């Protein structure tokens, strides 16, 4: 396992955020687990929208 879960930081509309530790470097990060419920059409568009939005953002904390 690359990241060790420490505790839950918070929860939003699209997922839950954990405080985690990167095992190799011991650095602490926030990890967001996006809800990925499956529907007949495949992945929910809300989950995809959230992932696409986060991929676009350029910020040292993301």
| 4/11 with CB nearer ligand ATP | 11
- Compute the least distance from the CB of residue 30 to ligand ATP, in Å: 3
Q: Let me know: does 47 contact 21? Beta carbons within 8 Å.
A: no
**Position among 17, 36, 47, 51 found at the interface with ligand ATP (CB under 6 A):** 17
Number of H helices and E strands in the chain, helices first, is 1, 5
Q: Let me know: does 38 contact 46? Beta carbons within 8 Å.
A: no
**Bind-site residues for ATP:** 32
Interface contacts to ligand ATP, rule CB under 6 A: 9-15, 17, 30, 32, 61
């Amino acid at each position: 396992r690359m990241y060790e879960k420490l505790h839950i930081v918070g929860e939003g509309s699209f997922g839950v955020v954990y405080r985690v530790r990167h095992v190799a470097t011991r650095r602490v990060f926030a990890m967001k687990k996006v809800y990925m419920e499956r529907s007949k059409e495949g992945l929910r568009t809300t989950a995809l929208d959230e992932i696409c939005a986060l991929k676009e953002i350029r910020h040292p904390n993301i």
